[in-house]
Structure 1
């Protein structure tokens, strides 16, 4: 038995190998190969008759016999190992042709070894490796959790009321400053224990009837009541959110994976040492407090034109990269799986061509080369993953500073993480071209380098032209125009 490795799509590979085993073991397919052998004999005989080249007949006979005897007749059992789905079942397939089994096993093991070795030497945390959880898993996990909102409507309303009626008045009275709230890594502890001199409206839902009642209680009583509800709220949200992130796992396993991976991602990217419950509480509190705050900001008009040009260029660049990135993050990893499945499935289709004179060895060489082309995708994914995670960790740690995850750093960290996601998606789109050009050297792919920067360059040129000439055009709409 030989082992075949893949990063995702293991169930597709199992189905393809089962189909190939059944297809090539069919009596009709064996009859097709007999017809092709007769055609090959006829073509080699014609070559011998017209070119007086007896070696053409010998070369075809020996080549076709060896290819058929070595690649098709022997059969092997294969075991598919999916790095993203270790519990894949069924994973064993019997009676796969030796040629397909060995080529798939060798090239996939080479790619898996290079991928695993690259992850070891690059030194990322195990839970953030590409082969375990996919591209920029840590950044994707941070991006998914930063927009969390409280799912319990009564709890959300009570917390919003607590900020507006209790916390903000504590700031005005000097109990703590806005700077303290902005820089603390635990807002909920900082605002404790609540004032006994002020009160707020507090909603309570009857668990039996579902009826909601409203009462006026002191801020301290409200704080204590909310504090007692945090654990249950986070536990319930963790279950629901875990199922959204990991739909292929059970609710319990998804929640356990989320609560295990979240601290690792935050520790690596931001330097925040906290468990998943603390991260959930701080994130939910920041979002709730931001929602309760109403502020205005104004700037002088001295440099409005320059600010406009830079802002417009940044926005246009981000939108261009974003449109490419969102598609690339979805279809490039899927394209790798699709191409791999197609290469495996084409074995019985292309095998008759391997038995023909002259074209047979060339077709076999091209087919084998395709396997190595696909095997190069994994190491390229890992290298891009490493570079982007390093950059994300450096930038987000710089934004977080000594305060870690706080109200002051939350927006900046989110912006940095968003940029990393956009850049990752855009660079992933280059992997198919990079993998094809690796064997030809750097010059074969050098012409792609400038195209990566075209969106940013074009956006900057267009914005600078508008700012320098004063011809600003925004929000124009043209609909059903016609010229006669």
Structure 2
């Protein structure tokens, strides 16, 4: 017959125990122990027989014969044993075990297995999870375990929290898609939410490192639903190898074999169907539980009466201990008792063998009653709990029923675990033929109830009642009370508040909204005076505007001075040339092209004024220079500080009527004439070729460059003035909507800089002492907010003007120059010729009319200059 050890979970511990026995018994050490003990025992009893009487030696001889029989018939022969685990359906084999251990243990284990099978058949309901295949209270333990099925992925947890806040709570409170009652009573919360998710409202969704907004409907279909499937797969993978996944298998496999299939989902469906009556599939049950845990964390309720709560508490404590240790207690005790056979070996040999051996087998036999007794206990628990749980749930696992189901399964597991603690004592007492085990079992059941009833009765009689109180580290001294009455109503449901280490108060409302409160009285101090940050910034802006405008006015004065100097140098040059021409000399103006023509006209006008009006050479030259050099200086940013002495203002475009009635619209090229005149007077090479002192050219060039520098500097300072005014508008707009008191920073600065306590620092800040003012100025200096605004404005302007904008424009021109026709004039001439128009005649008429207008314009300016 096969010698077998039967386990109900934890096959590895039993395998290693039997393998250790075989290894030690087959080692040289085991053989040496048996040899030494046998020889010692023979020598001892031989000596005792030599001193014994005629008939007394027979008793000693019988012990020697019994010892030799035990050694040769029970210890030296070897046998093999199989190990079968009925929960995980795994098996393994251990070779070379002593026959004296393997034979009785195998027989008793076989008897216990037959007894367990018979008890299971007699005492177990057809559709229940029996002890032999599932272990103790399997269904209730699985339902209790299901309450801890929560979303564990950080990304999914964040997305689900945002989804519930935006897409579930709001819809439930509005009641259009579904009401809170429908949500609580639904047996498929996620199915209800997904089917009726809003399409317009959006929620925040994180996918990897990217965070975006999606509609509730899209988030449910594309993000939450796939994440649920991954979370269920992760839970199933995590449970692989546990009793929940391996229990209920039909085929035995080797202990080291990893099954490819799992009964995880099957056992979930079986347990909920047997206990709750729910016919939902495993994935829906897991998703339902995760969804309920995501909406709200459940907590165990206390009983309605103090006695019931105390009794359940006693059972719960015992149940927690039993629930932790009982699943492995049978395997542990079996392993300890079976391994003690090694230590029993010397005593069995020395004592003659059989008396102690039978005592050892009695202890082994008691283990075989554990499984049948647990089967009977399972039957009562299953019958009682399945009926009650079905009545509670009405065969639906919903938000409203899961709390009561969870509380009741906790009680079932606690009571069952407490009763299981008595089974080891009961089994051993039955083997010994006593009734002490039943007395111990009755004491276990009634002890908690009697203690709870006694305590509740005492509180009811004395009126000193306490319920759910917790007190630790309390101390009261010299308390006095007065006539205090407070009948104000106070009610808070589902709300909580928490104060952070920095003083910020966080409050979570019953609807799930999170509120934060900080500032004065929470994270900052307040006093009799205020140090307004916006006042400091307004002052910084005002000072910045004053400084910028002052710098700009100085630059304008520099322009005026440089312009006067440049006019004087230009007049000296023109006067010198006019006098020399008047004396009969001539100069080759044509070598400088348009520039020389501009200089020739200025010299001719000076001569004309001298000859026709009788002006002096210097006066005539000054008038002529101002006519050309002042073009364009009255426009733009310089209009307020610069004007020509001649009262002339030149514009780029003019509409003039000629004497012949011809209306001409043209560009008078004022800026071009001015530029040509400046370049001609600065041409020292031409002056040297015409025997003109180059000092005139150098002076004009130097004064012109000085004027240009002054103009550029004035332009920069004007832009800075505009930047500061824009910054002022920004500060004014922000100050109207935000305000911050820097009192706390000032007080902290006084404490830090002057090494005073907090009270002294507060007093100095309230009085605005010199120390407080110094700290306040230091804080203002360290506040670069205004400077940053001005810098940002300057940078933004530089992007659309100045060198950066010019560089962008040049780059754009280079990239697109090929797209523009370079022969536009040729096309225009061709079109005019096709239409019968003579372009050259138009051009000559325009040039003649322009020349006449220019001469009239110069005469008018010259007359005005002399008045």
Which band: TM-score by shorter chain?
A: 0.7 to 0.9
Q: Does 1:162 align with 2:151?
A: no
SS at match of 2:350: coil
TM-score normalised to the size of structure 1? 0.82
Unaligned segments of structure 1, at least 5 residues: 294-307
Counterparts in 2 of 1:255 and 1:211: CA distance versus 1, 3 Å? farther
Identify the structure with bigger relative contact order (alpha carbons < 8 Å, sequence gap 6+). 1
Q: Deviations over 1:423-476 (max 9, x none)?
A: 122111112111111234573224321343222321232133123212245434
Counterparts in 2 of 1:191 and 1:26: CA distance versus 1, 3 Å? closer
Matches within 5 A, 1:438-449: 438-441=430-433, 443-448=435-440, 449=442
Inter-partner Cα distance in structure 1 for 2:202 and 2:85: 53
Q: Deviations over 1:223-275 (max 9, x none)?
A: 46414555533332223323444456999969943222111110000110111
Counterparts in 2 of 1:401 and 1:47: CA distance versus 1, 3 Å? farther
**Range with bigger deviation, 65-74 or 151-160:** 151-160
Q: Deviations over 1:41-67 (max 9, x none)?
A: 345442674353243134223322221
Q: Does 1:318 align with 2:312?
A: yes
**Range with bigger deviation, 28-37 or 332-341:** 28-37
Matches within 5 A, 1:107-256: 107-124=108-125, 128-151=129-152, 152=156, 153-170=158-175, 178-190=180-192, 193-194=195-196, 199-207=200-208, 210-215=209-214, 217=215, 222-223=216-217, 225-227=219-221, 229=223, 231-247=225-241, 256=262
SS at match of 1:437: helix
Report deviation, 1:17.
2.7
Counterparts in 2 of 1:479 and 1:436: CA distance versus 1, 3 Å? farther
8 Å contact 2:422–2:444 — kept in the other structure?
no
8 Å contact 1:309–1:464 — kept in the other structure?
no
TM-score normalised to the size of structure 2? 0.48
Counterparts in 2 of 1:48 and 1:223: CA distance versus 1, 3 Å? farther
Q: Deviations over 1:36-91 (max 9, x none)?
A: 23343345442674353243134223322221122112111222222344445xx3
8 Å contact 2:160–2:294 — kept in the other structure?
no
**Aligned-residue RMSD, C-alpha:** 3.2
8 Å contact 2:105–2:361 — kept in the other structure?
no
Counterparts in 2 of 1:180 and 1:12: CA distance versus 1, 3 Å? closer
8 Å contact 2:75–2:99 — kept in the other structure?
yes
Counterparts in 2 of 1:242 and 1:191: CA distance versus 1, 3 Å? closer
Inter-partner Cα distance in structure 2 for 1:66 and 1:253: 46
Counterparts in 2 of 1:125 and 1:230: CA distance versus 1, 3 Å? farther
Report deviation, 1:393.
0.9
Which of 368, 371, 391 is equivalent to 2:364? Answer: 371
**Range with bigger deviation, 428-437 or 126-135:** 126-135
Which of 274, 279, 297 is equivalent to 1:268? Answer: 274
Inter-partner Cα distance in structure 1 for 2:87 and 2:109: 15
**Range with bigger deviation, 421-430 or 19-28:** 19-28
Counterparts in 2 of 1:150 and 1:92: CA distance versus 1, 3 Å? closer
The alignment covers a number of residue pairs equal to 450
Q: Does 1:336 align with 2:337?
A: no
Report deviation, 1:93.
2.4
Unaligned segments of structure 2, at least 5 residues: 247-257, 476-867
SS at match of 1:119: helix
Residue 50 of structure 1: aligned partner: 52
Structure ID, larger Rg:
2
Report deviation, 1:148.
2.9
